[in-house]
């Protein structure tokens, strides 16, 4: 089998388009999963059972159903109920929602790892509850969970090819489209594989650097 550099050069414009969409989906999906995961965690710590119960049901349902099924439901079923969104918006929401149920558990573990003395000190200083969370508990908890959150960023990156099933042309979608049009599969798919390895490695380096900075 001969490697065709012309196929690589022909595919590169498609690759850059797919890379942009992949990184956009990853960035927005990560932001949504981190934010929503924290919201789930705080809601589950409320005293009101009528709040905890529905949040628990929703998060368990999302966590225990495949992301692929959720993508199909959001993109193909919701429009029948009058809720229609763009393919990329749907993909970002699906990834963010799905992974928020995992980051929720990460935040929970981080909060529980904060020493009890920190809570007692905040109480002794008569800090308001909101001030206790924002100034004392959450900064310490988030610092502890950065490595775990970084792992989920990489997991989300590796799940972005699933967006292809709802017509989002991320990297693999662009490779598939180009391959079908030009009957050249080896070069596009190889380029995509290398790109995923490099992006994952760079993301892990970034998270390590962030972790070191927060530990100071």
Torsion sign across C-alpha atoms 96, 102, 103, 104: positive
Confidence of residue 64 (pLDDT cuts 50, 70, 90): very high
pLDDT tens digits, 14-56: 999 999 999 999 999 999 999 999 999 999 988 788 888 999 9
Torsion sign across C-alpha atoms 66, 68, 71, 72: negative
Residue 169 has φ and ψ, to the nearest 5°, of -90, 75
Q: Three-state SS for 110? A: helix
Residue from 92, 113, 115, 116 nearest 35 by CA: 92
pLDDT tens digits, 135-165: 888 888 888 888 889 899 999 999 999 999 9
Q: Where are the alpha helices (DSSP H) in 45-86?
A: 49-63, 67-72
> Cβ(145)–Cβ(106) under 8 Å?
yes
pLDDT tens digits, 69-93: 999 999 999 999 988 899 999 999 9
Residue predicted with more confidence, 182 or 27: 27
> Cβ(17)–Cβ(25) under 8 Å?
no
């Amino acid at each position: 089998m001969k490697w065709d550099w012309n196929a690589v050069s022909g595919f590169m414009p498609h690759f850059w388009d797919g890379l942009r969409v992949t990184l956009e989906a990853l960035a927005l999906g990560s932001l949504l999963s981190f934010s929503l995961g924290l919201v789930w965690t705080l809601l589950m710590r409320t005293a009101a059972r009528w709040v905890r119960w529905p949040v628990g049901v929703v998060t368990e349902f999302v966590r225990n159903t495949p992301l692929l099924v959720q993508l199909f439901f959001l993109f193909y079923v919701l429009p029948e109920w009058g809720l229609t969104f763009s393919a990329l918006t749907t993909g970002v929401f699906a990834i963010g929602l799905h992974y928020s149920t995992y980051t929720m558990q990460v935040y929970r573990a981080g909060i529980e790892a904060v020493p009890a003395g920190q809570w007692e000190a905040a109480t002794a200083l008569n800090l308001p509850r909101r001030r206790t969370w924002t100034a004392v508990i959450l900064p310490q908890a988030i610092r502890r969970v950065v490595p775990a959150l970084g792992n989920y960023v990489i997991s989300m990156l590796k799940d972005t090819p699933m967006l292809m099933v709802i017509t989002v042309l991320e990297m693999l979608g662009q490779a598939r489209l180009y391959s079908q049009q030009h009957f050249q599969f080896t070069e596009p798919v190889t380029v995509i594989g290398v790109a995923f390895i490099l992006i994952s490695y760079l993301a892990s380096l970034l998270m390590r650097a962030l972790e070191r900075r927060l530990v100071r």
